[in-house]
Amino acid sequence: MPGKLKAKIVAGRHLPVMDRASDLTDAFVEVKFGNTTFKTDVYPKSLNPQWNSEWFKFEVDDEDLQDEPLQITVLDHDTYSANDAIGKVYIDIDPLLSSEAATVISGWFPIYDTIHGIRGEINVLVKVDLFNDLNRFRQSSCGVKFFCTTSIPRCYRAVMVHGFVEELVVNEDPEYQWIDRIRTPRASNEARQRLISLMSGELQRKIGLKVLEMGGNAVVGYLQCFDLEGESGLVVRAIGTACTLDKISNTYAPASAINPCNSSPSKDTKDSPQAVPSALGCRSTHSSPVHSASSRLSQGFSVSVPTLLFAGMKHRHRSSEGPRARQCRAGFGEEAPGVPLSSGPPTPLRAQTFSSFSPSKSYSRQSSSSDTELSLTPKTGMGSGGSAGKEAGPLKALLRQQTQSALEQREFPFFTLTSFPAGFLLHVGGVVSARSVKLLDRIHNPALGNTRSYKLLDWNSFTADEPETRDAWWEEIRQEIKSHAKALGCHAVVGYSESTSICEEVCILSASGTAAVLSSRFMQDGALDMDHRLSRQQAPVFTSGTEKGEGDMGSSASLGFEDLAPPGCGFCHIPYDELNMPFPAQLTYCHCCRRFKVPDVLFTTIDLPTEANVTGKGCLIQARLCRTKKKAQGEGNATAISNLLPFLEYELHTQLMNKLKLRSMNALFGLRIQISIGENMLLGLASATGVYLTPLPSPGGIQIAGKTPSDITYEQHISNMQKKINDTIAKNKELYEVNPPKLFTLDPEAFRCINTELVEEVIGSPIPEPRQRSRLFRSHSESSDEVSELDLSHGKKDAFVLEIDDTDAVEDIHSLLTDAPTPPGFYSCNTEIMPGIYNWTSALQMFTSVRVFRLSNVNLTNQGLNKVFNDLCENLLKSLYFKLRSMVPCCLCHLNFTVAVPEDELIQVAVTAVAMSFDKEQTLENGRQSCDKTLMKAITENEEQLQFPLELTAESSSNPLSSAKGLSEVSGALPSARAPSVDYSSFTDRCSSWIEQLRLKAHTIRRGSIKTMSSLEKASPLPEGRSRSLRSNRSYAGGSVAVVKMTPLSFIPGTKIIKYLGIINMFFIRETTSLREEGGVSGFLHSFIAEVFAMVRAHVAALGGNAVVSYSMKECVFMENPNKNQAQCLINVSGDAVIFVRESELEATPPQPQSASTQTSSSGEGT
Amino acid sequence: MTMELDVFVGNTTIIDEEVYQLWLDGFSVADAVKMRLENGALGECEVSGEVLHSDTMDQYRTFQMCERLLHCPSKLANQLLFQIPAHHQAMLIERYYEFDHMFAREVLGKKLSKGTKKDLDDISSKTGIALKSCRRQFDNFKRVFKVVEELKGPLAENVQHHFLLSDLLAKDYAAVVFFANSRFETGKKKLQYLSFQDFAFCACQLISYWTVGAVDNMMDDMDVDLEKEFLHDLKDLKVLVNDKDMLDQHKSLVCSQLRGRIRVFTEMEANFKNLSRALINIASKLTNTKDVRDLFIDLVEKFIEPCRSDKWTAGDLTLFLTHYTSTASTLETFRYQVIWERYMGVVKSCILKMYHD
């Protein structure tokens, strides 16, 4: 009996009238856990009963504690007939099982009924007494913390990142059981809710066990999904990243960034000894075989690139393989390279993906990345690489091998994180994704199959077969992702996620992520690498130092440190041998450091790294596509879908690329491609946040070319369009403040003084000449116009040509231009943060919007459909802007679109996002803002952070004679640089002198200094003063109900999260048989969503929290039958309950703990 | 091709005050969209009708869902369904209970029953206020009436406490409740020139001085009913007109005070006895419920109209009533000063309020 659960029912309020005669209710409560039930007394004739019950005690296994929810049912006592249920409350007690989370659940919970919605509230008190259980064979995993947040939670420090964990459980869907025909909808819904609650509890427990096995204590980026497969059952699956987290003891020290450098020194002491060894043993042995393999790999590459480039290629092939693969699971056939590719324009393909790596290095690091790698590295490294380019035979065999080995290993170098501790993410390859089409009806449904009379039972595949089948499906896809990543020269996949789309018996499984090279720092202790790139880690001090001195100045600031790549651009670099370039991509030298190659475009699924050098602001970019499909059944349907998929992906990709260019940006973050299947159409929606990464070359424009040049009017038409496009580009540049020249002029000047020897260093590479050329012209360029002009004509990268040869292309261009710009004062992105906006206020509005569109015209063409879909999304966005107009200036962050085809002619789009306002004045004062940013950063780093960067920034603000002056002058000059007349010569002079100073400083810094403390104290007042002035006018008193903020982001601006109370993972069903009376479908859904929000808030408040971060609505399945006046909706939401405090409230305490801890750590450093 | 479903739900409920007003005014969604487009209050945002329609629908739905809570405003603060900032809660409640004086004027003094509710469409067409809005206002009256009818203590305070309204609005409701309870006649043609404010003022006077609560707040009785004892005592005032000596004395005292000070002195002098009789008669009849109901019509017919036909100015009237009241107290044989002043104080201010065109 390792646990005692105690519950007390205090009172109820606002109960519904259950007795028409008296207009009152005789309420009592049943409290159920597992198979034990307690009842309170009946509180007669009251709508506000005061039960004040005794403590109901349940003695249970901790396994049950994890799986089961506490179930509270409120009933109306009826002497003569059966008692009527008023409603229920399910309370997940998992948060009480972790010592660091909540200790008690106490508060008002809405009483929820699946037919009537919320009916009053009940006040409940729940506690758990856990007894320590040292049984090694235990099945529970109490104490493992779960976070939906896809970064290291803010008040924790990552000691170790163990890697990917996944699990899935399967059950029969109660809605499809025979009994459902005779029971009430309410009973059926409740059975379903309860089952899913149980299943997710079980899932979480199982994942927890895996984490414990790996030596971790937490799961970050926990993503749980439901697949409602209808007849074939209900799948609940989850993925996450296992970590060992350390709670940062000083609650006031913000943990936002886990400091890379300090973690290594501190590691020896902090790492739990058990955790490390498992990872350690065999690592280094692999480096040499890998080495040789990798060179072969890159050769193979050149041939097969198209396939590997963008996931699209591979899955195209993959997906077409889908149905076949189903029949012969490992049979993975034919030619890998997708044929359709060759016909497509080269640019979109080349896009993001080529990653590259210096073979030796990345592989050795790869070997250290996680346990999975161990067995796989040698095989697949050679395997996929070698075979990809040659013939398919070996590929097949090898892949099979891979699958097998994976089955044995059951682990992948995947990370569900989207943002990382500084220094963890070294290089980003590009997006990798895989899709597979599966037929559900072929899966025998064994576990509960006997309940069905109409289905033949396959006794051979008895129980538990199904989860295995599903597991195998996902294994397959993960293997593919992994091999894609390998092909891109990356050993890990970050920002990884999985999803499904189900229509009847066809199911598309999708997985995507970003191929990346990670630092071994968080993987293990050893793995020292002599590679020069690793030297960056040996001087991590500077890495993060420069990152702080960042902003516009980041790139130049970093120049002072000769032997390391600045973090602002490091992740874009391709440490790659250009001679073996896999495809005709344009590599250029990084515009920041000038030493490493970068691609011309970069696509990723992760968040923009905070240290990234970005010019201007970002914006949401969406590609939308709709394709008709013939209605079909079973296998035919699956084949049809697989055949359509590649085209869909290709077009989405082209659209993304075009739109990116139209905004003159060169990188996408947070890319999420969703493909949804319906009976007679396929929907594709790709969302991402476009930014201009300073290190990457400026994108060329878009040129339109006609195929039939004879006609004059036609020519005119084309030139008109061209003009429109050019205008739009120019407008967008202004709108998003993408004005590269300013930075460029700064950069080369800066470089000139220190870079000379570097040129010789790199001279062996094939590209130095163009680089020099470009540098030359850049240093001459004085005005922005000139540069952009030159940029356009520069090199071949401009050759992005749209050919108008058919109506399709015309459509494309139209759709390009019809995207309405965001109204003034609004920005939007689908990532956590918006580059270029730092001064958030605490005004925050999370919202969910759902639209369902009925296509009444059945004979729609593809174009027609496209337009409808496009308009639907555009109008939705417009509506959002309009509704939130009172928050201007504001940014819609984390805009998460979900599309579905619930029925034949219906398209459903659901959006969840948060609108956050920011201070306009400060945005304009660029200089001050960047200054502020640095300082804010310095302040928000925890005490584990480096001393040196603090000193750097602090001094720059405190010493008016030297660098500070330079900094302020430079940054002050930056905004004005946009004005036509600027004295550039003096400007650059100052710059270079400033850089000199920085360099000098760097030397002193490197020697380490104890000045830190004092300078830190000097630094602190400034940002605080600012925050104070910001917050002061923003305290509003709530009503008697505690205000609970919700946000899909992992933070709330202007606040510090001081405690994570546990994961919120709730599943609700709502059904109505009086749709019209409830205000039609909109009224029904509106109140349901409001109810879901209310229940989430209530649970958070009961845990003692005041906010939900990383909130998401994972599922919103809506079904209606207006003729029967019925509708049903299922919603699944999740997030992390937290307690936050306003920064302004922390003011009283701040400097002491920080400086104290800094002192200790710096002295520690000294010894 | 139609939008089948279109919802927007914010964690903090977004409330557009302009749309709220349109909803309260009973406009249909289509009309509201039209009005919003016309108002151009949308400023720089270029928005299509479509966007406006969607927004308006959302807002209307939100209001409909909130309406249930607004019926019991104290619930709004501790319900969990909508997270509404406090200042918005107050606004929602205040605006919901605000009413058109035009409408209130029509309903004033009527029984708040189903019968009256059926006449709402007449009122709607007469006042130009949408029927929907009329219904809401009528239901509000009825709801407030039901709640405070049986409560002890000051009427306005009760309203304010239960419905969380502002002082002003609570007072207006007190007037409505008071009129509905006593069923004062306000519908007669001769009373049509009086506005709701006029009556509200009178009601306030009556509540303040003539009810039980006016004498003693702690009394068990309620604020809604006039004090029976007081009404009964009013009969004693008859002496002022029945006793000829007293009447003459009273007249001469008033005349001496007013001579040369009012323009209509001669008319006053000629009419004094009639006027005085009118006022005293009204007072003495107040024991009958029927006559209580006719209080205002009596005041108009018996007193205000004669004055008006003689072209009294408001100033004249003020002076007259002031001295008419004060001199009676100086009459040696007059023993009912307290009752007299309690009666005349209210009557005087009511008449002055009602004396206009």
Number of C-beta neighbours around residue A454 at 10 A: 6
The token pair at B272 is 């004094």
Whether residues B81 and A118 touch (CB distance < 8 A) is answered with yes
Rounded to an integer, what distance in angstroms lies between the CA atom of residue A18 and that of residue A279? 62
In sequence order, the β-bridge partners of residue A240 are A165
Tell me the angle at which helices B167-182 and B196-210 cross, rounded to the nearest 10 degrees.
Answer: 80
Contact call for residues A316 and A338 (beta carbons, < 8 A): yes
Whether residues B58 and A852 touch (CB distance < 8 A) is answered with no
Q: Is the Cα dihedral A979, A984, A987, A991 positive or negative?
A: positive
Q: Is B55 on the interface with A (CB under 8 A)?
A: yes
The 8 Å CB, 24+ separation contacts for B49-52 are B50/A875, B51/A875, B51/A878, B51/A879, B51/A882, B52/A882
Rounded to an integer, what distance in angstroms lies between the CA atom of residue A947 and that of residue A1013? 8
Contact call for residues A491 and A362 (beta carbons, < 8 A): yes
Q: What is the 3-state secondary structure (H, E, C) of A1039-1057?
A: CCCCCCEECCCCCCCCEEE
- What residues have CB less than 8 Å from B98, skipping those under 6 apart? B24, B169
Torsion of CA A484, A487, A490, A493, to 10 degrees: 0
Query: Could you tell me which of B250, B278, B253 has the C-alpha nearest to residue B347?
Result: B278
Whether residues A1093 and B4 touch (CB distance < 8 A) is answered with no
Specify the amino acid at residue A337.
Answer: P
Contact call for residues A1078 and A116 (beta carbons, < 8 A): no
Q: Is A895 on the interface with B (CB under 8 A)?
A: no
Low-confidence ranges of chain A (pLDDT < 70): 1, 100, 132-139, 180, 249-411, 441-467, 521-567, 575-585, 705-711, 739-818, 857-859, 921-1040, 1146-1167
Whether residues A852 and B4 touch (CB distance < 8 A) is answered with yes
The token pair at A1136 is 């992390």
Rounded to an integer, what distance in angstroms lies between the CA atom of residue A860 and that of residue A857? 6
Query: Could you tell me which of A811, A726, A744, A831 has the C-alpha nearest to residue A781?
Result: A744
pLDDT on residue A30: 94
In sequence order, the β-bridge partners of residue B3 are A853
pLDDT on residue A43: 93
- What residues have CB less than 8 Å from A534, skipping those under 6 apart? A361, A365, A528
**Of B10, B44, B80, Cβ closest to residue A846:** B10
* Interface with B, mutate which of A89, A881, A892, A1093 (most B CBs under 10 A): A1093
The DSSP bridge pattern shows strands A492-503 and A156-171 to be: unpaired
What is the residue whose two structure tokens read 């925890």? A942
The token pair at A382 is 């050679």
The token pair at A659 is 């739109």
pLDDT on residue A534: 33
pLDDT on residue A275: 32
Q: Is A230 left (phi over 0), alpha (psi -120 to 50) or beta?
A: left
Q: Is A598 on the interface with B (CB under 8 A)?
A: no
Chain B residues in contact with A881 by the CB 8 A cut-off are 45
Rounded to an integer, what distance in angstroms lies between the CA atom of residue A1100 and that of residue A1021? 34
- Nearest 5°: phi and psi at B226? -70, 150
- Lowest mean per-residue pLDDT among A199-213, A537-551, B179-193, B335-349: A537-551
**Of A846, A1039, A1081, Cβ closest to residue B5:** A1081
What is the residue whose two structure tokens read 């003693």? B216
pLDDT on residue B22: 93
* Interface with A, mutate which of B2, B6, B11 (most A CBs under 10 A): B11
The token pair at A921 is 């004045």
Q: Give the H or E element holding residue B154.
A: none
Q: Is the Cα dihedral A833, A839, A842, A847 positive or negative?
A: negative
**Of A849, A875, A1036, Cβ closest to residue B86:** A1036
The alpha-carbon gap from B222 to the nearest alpha carbon of chain A, in Å, equals 26
Whether residues B10 and A845 touch (CB distance < 8 A) is answered with yes
Strand order in the sheet with A667-677: A602-603, A667-677, A681-693, A614-628
Chain A residues in contact with B12 by the CB 8 A cut-off are 845
Query: Could you tell me which of A657, A542, A671 has the C-alpha nearest to residue A604?
Result: A671
Rounded to an integer, what distance in angstroms lies between the CA atom of residue A630 and that of residue A440? 19
Rounded to an integer, what distance in angstroms lies between the CA atom of residue B265 and that of residue B286? 30
Size of interface A-B (CB pairs under 8 A): 144
**What would you report as the CA-atom Rg of chain B, rounded to the nearest whole angstrom?**
25
Rounded to an integer, what distance in angstroms lies between the CA atom of residue A182 and that of residue A188? 10
Q: How far is CA A903 from CA A336, A644, A1125, in A?
A: 34, 19, 17
Answer with the residue of higher pLDDT: A739 or B169.
B169
Whether residues B86 and A1039 touch (CB distance < 8 A) is answered with yes
Contact call for residues A912 and A1096 (beta carbons, < 8 A): no
**Local structure of residue A341 (DSSP, 8 states):** H
Query: Could you tell me which of B277, B285, B207 has the C-alpha nearest to residue B242?
Result: B277
In sequence order, the β-bridge partners of residue A603 are A668
Question: What ipTM was assigned to the predicted interfaces of this complex?
Answer: 0.88
Helix spans in A563-605 (H):
567-570
Q: Give the H or E element holding residue B100.
A: none
- Nearest 5°: phi and psi at A360? -60, -45
Q: B residues 30-49 near A, CB within 8 Å?
A: 42, 44-48
Whether residues B11 and A845 touch (CB distance < 8 A) is answered with yes
Contact call for residues B186 and B199 (beta carbons, < 8 A): yes
Chain A residues in contact with B1 by the CB 8 A cut-off are 853-857, 868
Q: How far is CA A1123 from CA A317, A1071, A1074, B185, in A?
A: 43, 15, 11, 52
Q: A residues 799-828 near B, CB within 8 Å?
A: 823-824
pLDDT on residue B98: 93
* Strand boundaries in A490-570, DSSP class E: 492-503, 506-518
Whether residues B8 and A880 touch (CB distance < 8 A) is answered with yes
Asked, as a colleague might, if the bond just before A340 is cis with ω within 30 of 0, I would say: no
pLDDT on residue B74: 87
Q: Is A1035 on the interface with B (CB under 8 A)?
A: no
pLDDT level of residue B27 (50, 70, 90 thresholds): very high
Specify the amino acid at residue A57.
Answer: K
In sequence order, the β-bridge partners of residue A1045 are A1107
**Local structure of residue A1077 (DSSP, 8 states):** T
pLDDT on residue A134: 55
Q: Is B10 on the interface with A (CB under 8 A)?
A: yes
Which residue of chain B has the CA closest to A1079?
A: B61
Contact call for residues A639 and A858 (beta carbons, < 8 A): no
pLDDT on residue A737: 78
**Of B2, B64, B86, Cβ closest to residue A854:** B2
Q: A residues 107-136 near B, CB within 8 Å?
A: 108, 110, 118, 121
The token pair at A831 is 């990532």
Q: Is A855 on the interface with B (CB under 8 A)?
A: yes
The token pair at A103 is 């200790």
Rounded to an integer, what distance in angstroms lies between the CA atom of residue A820 and that of residue A1119? 31
- Angle (CA) B287-B210-B146 rounded to 5° is 90
Instruction: Write the pLDDT tens digit of every residue in B258-288.
Output: 888 888 888 888 888 888 888 888 888 888 8
Chain A residues in contact with B62 by the CB 8 A cut-off are 1086
**Of B11, B51, B89, Cβ closest to residue A879:** B51
Q: Is the Cα dihedral B181, B187, B188, B194 positive or negative?
A: positive
Greatest mean pLDDT range, A562-566, A1033-1037, B91-95, B337-341? B91-95
Contact call for residues A4 and A128 (beta carbons, < 8 A): yes
- Please tell me whether residue A563 adopts helix, strand or coil conformation: coil
Q: Give the H or E element holding residue A345.
A: none
Kindly report the pTM of this predicted structure: 0.76
**Local structure of residue B12 (DSSP, 8 states):** B
Whether residues B78 and A1041 touch (CB distance < 8 A) is answered with yes
Q: How far is CA A438 from CA A108, A433, A480, A635, in A?
A: 45, 16, 16, 9
- Please tell me whether residue A530 adopts helix, strand or coil conformation: coil
What average pLDDT does range B204-213 have in this prediction? 82
The alpha-carbon gap from A1071 to the nearest alpha carbon of chain B, in Å, equals 16
What is the residue whose two structure tokens read 């397959």? A476
Whether residues A845 and B12 touch (CB distance < 8 A) is answered with yes
Residue A151: how many CA atoms within 13 Å on its side-chain side? Answer: 27
The DSSP bridge pattern shows strands A840-854 and B2-10 to be: antiparallel
Contact call for residues A65 and A4 (beta carbons, < 8 A): no
**Local structure of residue B304 (DSSP, 8 states):** I
The alpha-carbon gap from A468 to the nearest alpha carbon of chain B, in Å, equals 39
Q: Is B82 on the interface with A (CB under 8 A)?
A: yes
Contact call for residues A73 and A88 (beta carbons, < 8 A): yes
Number of separate helices (H) and strands (E) present in chain B: 22, 1
pLDDT level of residue B217 (50, 70, 90 thresholds): low
The token pair at B65 is 């869902």
Whether residues A1094 and B80 touch (CB distance < 8 A) is answered with yes
